[in-house]
Structure 1
C-alpha cells in the first residue's frame, strides 16, 4: 500500500468517527476500505467491554458477503457454558499472555487448531486468522473499557501476505481509537440517562448545563415511598435493605417509564418523577394525569409480583404509597457551582412533599391532591375524598383524595 492510500484510509476512519458513526458502522466502513486497497478481509469480529449497569460488553460481527452488522450484547453474569467458551477463545489467550496479536494460518494447517473458533472457520473455508488486542493507557481506561479486541479472517487462497498483515496491523490502532471514541459516547449517553433520567440526560448532553438554566413546565408530579421503611430498616439486616430497595424501585420505575414519565431523583426509599405536559406524548395536562394514574396502577401490579416473590423466598416486604399532584414547576439545573442537580423545584413540589407526608394519617396506597383530581377531567370521578387536611407550609386546608378501591382493583385484575 502506498502512503497516499494509507493516508486515505486513516482520514476515512477519522471522518467516520467525527461523523458520529457507531462502533459497528465504523467496523463495516473500515473493512470495506481495507478490501478496496487489496487487504482481503472476509470476516471481522470486534469486541469491547463497557461501563453499563447491566451489560459487560458488546461484540460486533461483519462479513463481506452479508449486509449489516451482527451485534451481540453480553451481561455481567455469565453461565458456565459462556465462561468455558471465553476461556477457550483467542481473546482470552491474549488477555492472559499480554500479547498484542496472534495469527493462525488455516490454509495448509494439519487441522489440530489451538482454538475451537479456528476449527469452525476452517470448516467454513477461511484460510487465515489474525487476532489483535489494542490496549489503552491507564488514563484512557473507562470502567472495564480498557482495550479493543478483534479478529480478521480471510478466505483468499494462501491467506494474507506478510505485507498485508503489516499494513493491517498499522491501520488497526486508527480504527481502535475511533471505536473507543464511539464507545465513550455511548457510555456517556448510558450513564447520563441512568443517573439523570432520559429527558434530563438528553437536555444536559445537548448543552443545557448552565447553573440556574431552567424552564417553566406544567406537569403531573409523582412521589412514592415505602410505608414503614424506617421501622423496617431498623429491624432488618442492612445487607437485605439494598436488594429490597432495588426490587421496589425497579417495579415503580418500570411503570413510570412505561407510561411516559421521567424519574428525576431517588431519595432513600422515595422516588420523584414527572409526567410533563410536553405537547408530544402528553398533549395536555389531562393526558399527563391519565398516564400518571396508569403508571400508578401498573406499579401496584408490579409491586404485587415483587411482594409475592420476596415473601415466597422468606425476604422482607413492604407497601408503597404514591402521592400525585399537578402544577407549574421550574425544570433544570440547580445547586452549587461544582455540583448541580437536574430536577424540578417550586411550590407545587413542596406541596407534593407535604401530601406524601400524610400517609400515616390517611393510610392509603394512593393520595391525590384536589388539583390533580380536577386536572384528571374524565377520570376525576374515580377519586374518593379523604377529607380536608392542613398541610404544613400551605396556607389553606386541602382536600385529599384516593382512587376508588373498586376501580384500582379492576385495573389490577386487567393489568
Structure 2
C-alpha cells in the first residue's frame, strides 16, 4: 500500500469518527479499506472494556468472508470475579500483553510454529496463517472505569502470512482507528450512564442539552409511586447481606415492568419507585400504567415463589397512581442537579401510595386517574370511598382494582 492510500484511510477514519459513526461502522469501514489497499486481512476483533452495570465490555468483529451469520458485537461479563471467564482471560494473548508491558505480539500459525496460546490452535483450524495482536493503552487521565486500553487482533489466511510492511501498516493505521473508536465508545458510555441513573427519557433530554438549572417543562403525566410492603420489618430481621440482593430482585421486577409498559423511572428512594407515563392521550397513559401494574404483579409473584423456595424473605408492592400537571426538568443547586418531577400532583401520589397500608389495598388510584382512564380501564376499577390526604385540602374518592378482575388476570 502506498503512502497516498494509507493517508486516505486515516482521513476517512478521522472524518467517520467526527461524524459519530458507531464502533461497528468504523471497524467495518476501516477493514474494507485496508483490504482494498492490499493488506490481506481476513478477520479482526476489537476488544473494548466499558462502563456498564452488567457488562465489562464488548468485542466488535469483522470477517472478510462474512455470510451474514456472524454476531458482529458480543458483550462479555466480569473477568475479575473468578470462574471460566476469568480463567479464559488470563490465558489470552490480550492478558499477556497487558501484563508484559509489550504493545504487540505476532505468531505465525501452522506446522512447525509454536502454539503457546490456545487461540492459535483454533485459528489454525480455521485456516489462518498469521496472527497479530495490539494493545493501545490510555494514560491515567483518559481511563474511564475498566476502559484503560483497547485490544485488537488481526489475522490472515494467505499462505505466506503478513509481510513486515503489512505489520507496520496495521500498527500505524490502527492508532487512528482506536482514537475514533474511543470517541464512539465514550458516547455510548455517556448514553448508558444517563439512561441508567436518570431514566431513558430524562437521559435523552440531558444528552440533547437540557442541563441548565431551573429549565423545566410543564407536562401532564400519569404518576406512579410504589414501595414494598413490610420493608422496614425485613431490614430489621433479615441478615444484612440479604438486603441489597433483596432490593435488587424486587427493583428488577418493578422497573422492568414500568419500562416495558412505556414508562420512565425517575427516582429510587430506598424501596420506593417514582415513575411517569407520558402520552398525548391521557387515557393511553393510564392504560400503560395499569399494564405495568399487571406485569409487576406477575413478576413479583414469580419472584416470591423462587425466593420462598430458597427460604429468603419475600414482599409485595403497594402502588399509588395519579394523573396531573407537573414540572419536569432540572432542579437543584449549582453543584448538584436532579432531573425529576415536582408539583402538588407528586405529593398527592405519594400520599395515595402511603394510604394503601391503612386501607389494606395493594393498589389505589386517584379520582383524576379514574376520570382520565378509558371505559375499559374504568370497568376494572372500584371505589373504596373518600379519604383525606395529608397536605391536600379536600378529601377525594379513591379507587382500586376490582379483585375479580385481578384474579381473572392472574397467570
Fold match (TM-score > 0.5) = yes
Partner of 2:407: 409
Identify the residue that residue 196 of structure 1 maps to in structure 2. Answer: 198
1:309 aligns with one of 300, 306, 309: 306
Pairing partner for 1:344 from 341, 346, 351: 341
Task: Report the counterpart of residue 7 of structure 2 in structure 1.
Answer: 7
| C-alpha RMSD of the superposition | 1.7
Q: Is 1:250 aligned to residue 252 of structure 2?
A: yes
Structure 2 residue ranges without an equivalent (≥5): none
Q: What is the Cα deviation at residue 192 of structure 1?
A: 0.7
What secondary structure does 1:55 align onto? coil
Asked if 1:129 is matched to 2:131, the reply is: yes
- When structure 1 is superposed on structure 2, of 263-272 and 164-173 the one drifting more is 164-173
Q: Indicate conservation of the 8 Å contact 1:262/1:273, yes or no.
A: yes
Name the residue aligned to 2:294.
297
Contact 1:324 1:367 in 2 (8 A): yes
Q: Which residue of 2 aligns with 1:335?
A: 332
Match of 2:268, SS?
A: strand
Q: Which residue of 2 aligns with 1:234?
A: 236
**Equivalent residues in 2 for 1:209-228 (5 A)?**
209-228=211-230
Equivalent pair of 2:97/2:135 in contact (CA under 8 Å): yes
Relative to 1, partners in 2 of residues 1:332 and 1:111: Cα closer, same or farther, differing over 3 Å? Answer: same
Contact 1:298 1:412 in 2 (8 A): no
Q: How does 1:242-281 map to 2 (within 5 A)?
A: 242-277=244-279, 279=280
Equivalent position of 2:166 in the other structure: 164
Aligned to 1:36: 36
Report the equivalent of 2:176. Answer: 174
Check conservation: 2:225, 2:353, Cα contact below 8 A.
yes
Deviation at 1:186, TM superposition (A): 0.7
Deviation at 1:79, TM superposition (A): 8.0
**What are the superposed Cα offsets for residues 309-356 of structure 1, whole Å, 9 maximum, x if unpaired?**
111111111221000001111111111112111111111111112112
2:152 is aligned to 150
1:104 match = 107
Q: Determine whether 1:185 maps to 2:182.
A: no
8 Å contact kept, 2:49–2:146: yes
- Deviation by residue 1:93-135 (Cα, 9 ceiling, x = unmatched): 212222111101226x414411222222223222211111111
Q: Secondary structure at the match of 1:356?
A: helix
- SS of the aligned residue for 2:57 comes to strand
**Counterparts of 1:200 and 1:81, CA distance in 2:** 38
Compare 363-372 and 232-241 and name the one that shifted more.
Answer: 232-241
Structure 1 unaligned blocks of 5 or more: none
**What is the CA distance between 1:212 and its match in structure 2?**
1.4
Cα contact 1:389–1:400 (8 A) shared by 2:
yes
Describe the superposition over 1:224-274 as per-residue Cα deviations: whole angstroms up to 9, x where unpaired. Answer: 001222232222232211111111111011111111111010011100001
In the TM superposition, residue 308 of structure 1 has moved relative to its aligned partner by 1.4
Q: Which residue of 2 aligns with 1:85?
A: 88
Work out the number of aligned pairs and report it. Answer: 407
TM-score normalised per structure 2? 0.95
**Aligned equivalents of 1:36, 1:399: Cα separation in 2:** 72
Match of 1:288 in 2: 285
CA displacement, residues 9-52 of structure 1 (integer Å, 9 cap, x when unaligned):
21111111112111121111111222232222111111111110
Distance in 2 (CA, whole Å) between partners of 1:291 and 1:3 is 59
Q: For the residues of structure 1 that align with 2:165 and 2:127, how far apart are their CA atoms? A: 22
Contact kept in structure 2, 1:259 and 1:292, CA below 8 Å = yes
Q: Is the 8 A contact 1:111 1:119 kept in 2?
A: no
**8 Å Cα contact 1:330-1:345 kept in structure 2:** yes
